[in-house]
Chain A
Amino acid sequence: MTEKKDVLIIGGGPAGLAAAVKLWEKGIHDILIVEREKTLGGILRQCIHDGFGLTRFKTTLSGPEYAQRFISRVHEEEIAYVTNTTVLDVSSNKLVTLASPSGMRFIQTRVVIFAMGCRERTRGALAIPGERPVGVFTAGVAQAYINLQNRMVGNEVVILGSGDIGMIMARRLTLEGAHVKAVYEILPTPSGLARNIHQCLDDYGIPLYLNHTVTNIHGNARLTGVTIAKVDDRLCPITGTEQDVSCDTLILSVGLIPENELTKGAEVPLDTHTHGALVDEFFQTERNGFFSAGNVLHVHDLVDFVSLEAEKMADSVSLYLSEDTLPACPISIKTGDGVGHVVPQKIGGKRDVLFSLRPQAKFGASTLQFLQGGEVIAEKMLRKALPAEMIELTVRKEQFQETGDVEVRIVC
């Protein structure tokens, strides 16, 4: 039997929860949140460090506390959700197939919200050569073992990649009694936030080596060490710079990948830069009634921005449900010099739009510019720009011209 819903939200993490609560407040109550884990909250359940919520709630919270603010609202309003439930398929005409221990469900929905978040890049994706011993973990997996299951992952630790989760795990492991020998980063700039280098590495005397990578992994049953090498401008290891570092644990913090298999299955086009869906200013994908927000759309630095984005998307979804369509968005946004990606990728030009973007490289004092028809329509001075830090800029409706694609660039 096929059930009917107005909105089906895939993922009960920060994006899905914020969207659900906002939709409810907008009077849309025929919602179902689908979560594959045992409880709601997503990755926040294991992010026990604080620093969340400064933007969204004007106070500093730990991950579980931040999630609970939304989960409590879900419970108060009795918003429908299922856990232990996997979405097997989303068809291009919005028929969603769910599987759980109690069986299969088929739901025909008017709106699909993709809020699946990210998964971590693994050793396999980097193709690090060597043996295949126990002791190689992604940062999030190590975090789940320690913070959710009370299992320590090792004693002598090397971390590859300077993403925020890697640095936070360096501190966590140190507090739990492990010795973190060093963090190695292949790029010339750190991948995580500056404050985390300070409070997670410097505070505990953990060195960070830029332009270095792991070139080999040693050990039969358990990891015994890794080979480290310097890399050149093209990120290739330099022969003769190799050194062996003994360790029983290697933590990888080498990037997040938006988890878009269901999106692709629904024939929703993706952006090659963000690896998330192509969306317009309403967070609607190129398919009517399919929306996307949060880390599944593009990787954010802060959960606060994930929640705020999902709430804006929920506003659009409520508009869509009342009209069964949204205003056309014919103007394309293109990435120019110095810009890695920009969201949204399509706009109508008739409303204020908040753009999120990421620089491609490190810049000092520079200017972010939006150009349309060769003219600068909006700009923002930047004190510094780093790939690790997302930039936001609102362009007001009166600044847009009626037609013509918009180019976004960073100039020094």
Chain B
Amino acid sequence: MLKTYTCIICPNGCDLIATVEKGTILVSGNLCAKGEAYVRQELTEPKRTITSLILVEGGQLPLASVRLTIPIPKERIFDVMREIKKISVKAPVSIGDVIIRNVLGLGSDVVSTKDVPLC
């Protein structure tokens, strides 16, 4: 079986070809080892990192941007979005602040990516 992928790990966006036969996976077209790891992940359990926003009370901005510390299974993206939307925090917020630890038990933290000082 042949499957083609566009690597999303970096902006090179390598066109990858995976040959799957009798349980072995052969990857070609990748410029680095990360491409191969990406295809193996895609074939078994596709994962993504997401970024979003949380509400901030009393800050110089109404929102702080957030991201996940490690990728989560693709099919859980919208579940995690619902958790993020439940949250609001009080200013000040700093880059790196953990907003939700181990979101939905997936092993990934939601962390702030923006400084929002007090108003």
Q: Which residues of A contact B (CB under 8 A)?
A: 48-51, 54, 61-65, 68, 146-150, 175, 193-195, 197-199, 203, 301-302, 384, 389
Q: Which residue of A lies closest to B65 (CB)?
A: A48
Query: Is A150 in contact with B51, judged by CB distance below 8 angstroms?
Result: no
* Given A193-B13, A301-B11, also A64-B114 (CB < 8 A): yes
**In whole angstroms, how far apart are the Cα atoms of A403 and B62 in the complex?**
58
Name the residue in B11, B15, B52, B74 with the highest tally of chain A Cβ atoms < 10 Å from its Cβ. B11
**Contacting pair B62 A149 (CB below 8 A):** yes
The answer to whether B51 touches A198, judged by C-beta atoms less than 8 angstroms apart, is no
* Extra contacts besides A149-B63, A175-B78, A195-B8 (6): CB < 8 Å: A48-B114, A62-B67, A64-B114, A193-B13, A195-B9, A195-B11
A175-B11 CB under 8 A given contacts A65-B95, A147-B65: no
Once bound together, how far apart are the Cα atoms of A198 and B15, in whole Å?
11
**Chain B residues near A150 (CB-CB < 8 A):** 53, 55, 62-63
Q: Give the residues in chain B near A54, CB-CB below 8 Å.
A: 10-11
Q: Chain B 36-58 against A: per-residue CB contact (8 Å), 1 yes, 0 no?
A: 00000000000011111101000
13 residue pairs from A and B, CB less than 8 Å apart: A48-B52, A48-B65, A62-B51, A62-B65, A65-B113, A146-B53, A150-B63, A175-B50, A175-B52, A193-B11, A193-B13, A195-B10, A301-B11
- B113 touches which of A62, A148, A301, A389 (Cβ 8 Å): A62
- Give the complex CA separation of A389 and B50 in angstroms: 24
Q: Which residues of A contact B52 (CB under 8 A)?
A: 48, 175
Report the minimal beta-carbon distance from B41 to chain A, rounded to whole angstroms.
13
A50–B74 CB distance below 8 A:
no
Q: Please tell me if the beta carbons of B8 and A148 are within 8 angstroms of each other in the complex.
A: no
Partner pick for A51 among B5, B11, B55, B77, CB 8 A cutoff: B11
- Residues in B with CB closer than 8 Å to A51 are 10-11
Q: Which residues of B contact A50 (CB under 8 A)?
A: 49, 51, 67
Listed in ascending order, the chain B residues whose CB lies under 8 Å from chain A are 5-11, 13, 15, 48-53, 55, 61-63, 65, 67, 74, 77-78, 81, 95, 113-115
Taking a contact as CB atoms under 8 Å apart, the answer to whether B53 and A199 are in contact is no
Whether the pair A302, B67 counts as a contact (CB closer than 8 A) is: no
Q: What's the least CB distance linking A84 to chain B, in Å?
A: 14
**B27 → A minimal CB distance (Å):** 16
- Ranked nearest first, the 5 interchain pairs of A and B with the lowest CB-CB distance are A48-B65, A194-B13, A195-B13, A62-B113, A64-B114
List of B residues within 8 angstroms of A147 by Cβ: 53, 63, 65
Q: Does the CB pair B61–A148 fall under 8 Å?
A: yes
Q: Which residue of A lies closest to B56 (CB)?
A: A150
Inter-chain contact B113/A64, CB cutoff 8 Å: yes
Does the CB pair B15–A194 fall under 8 Å?
A: yes
Q: Given the known A-B contacts A50-B51, A62-B65, A150-B53, are A68 and B95 also in contact in the complex, defined by CB atoms under 8 Å?
A: yes
Distance between Cα atoms of A389 and B6 in the complex (Å): 14
B7 touches A148 (CB 8 A): no
Q: Report whether B6 and A198 are in contact in the complex, using a CB–CB cutoff of 8 Å.
A: yes
Q: What is the chain B residue whose CB lies nearest that of A390?
A: B11
A64 touches B65 (CB 8 A): yes
Kindly state the separation between the CA atoms of A28 and B61 in the bound complex, as whole angstroms. 33
Contacts of B6 in A (CB 8 A): 194-195, 197-198
Which chain A residues border B62 with CB–CB below 8 Å? 149-150
B43 CB to closest chain A CB, in angstroms?
15
